[in-house]
Amino acid sequence: MHRQTKIGLATFVGAALMASVAISGQAAELRFEHVMNIGSEGSGQGQFKYIEDFAFSKEGHLLVTDAANSNVQVFDKDGKFLTLWGKTGSGPGELKTPAGIATDRHDNVYVTEIGNDRVQVFDKDGKFLTMWGKKGSGNGEFGNLHGSIVDKETGWVYVADTANNRIQVFKPAPDVGSN
């Protein structure tokens, strides 16, 4: 199965990192050079208060969840701010402490929310599509929801349900993602 791979932000934008690996019996030095910073501190466009996670769209756009500003921000591959969506709330399309973010093969965006204990799905432009979940410990209920990964082949969604010490797995209904 091909799953979306997620790495920590510190790994992504971290300064020079050195590692040694064995290649054909010889030690080779891997070097990484700092390229750019994306965003700054604040509440405006291209600014963050508390980055939780990020993912990439098919177009190579960087999608970032900001838990404190309750939004998702989108940047191009050069780090230029493109758009943001979400505002604090509990209605469809509103976010409360968004955490995990992932994309599927149709470029739909899955956002997990710590504050609303649910998963919301948006299209690539931030238009609300659907949501599920509520606070609790039963199937489809969450406690302190964090990361998520979407299997691009099957469309299955894996959600880290932190307070319930489990990963919940969901598969799409037959008519989901048929666009």
Query: What pLDDT digit, counting tens, does each position of 28-72 carry?
Result: 899 999 999 999 999 999 999 999 999 999 999 999 999 999 999
Asked if residue 159 has pLDDT above 80, the reply is: yes
How high is the pLDDT of residue 173?
Answer: 85
Closest CA to 109 of 65, 139, 160, 76: 65
74: three-class secondary structure by DSSP: strand
- For 93, counting Cβ atoms within 10 Å of its Cβ (0-12 exposed, 13-18 middle, 19+ buried), the class is middle
Taken in order of first residue, the domains within the chain and their CATH numbers are 49-170 (2.120.10.30)
Nearest to 178 by CA among 120, 104, 128, 118: 104
pTM: 0.81
Distances (CA, A) of 16 to 20, 23, 36: 14, 21, 12
Mean of the pLDDT values across residues 108-130?
A: 97
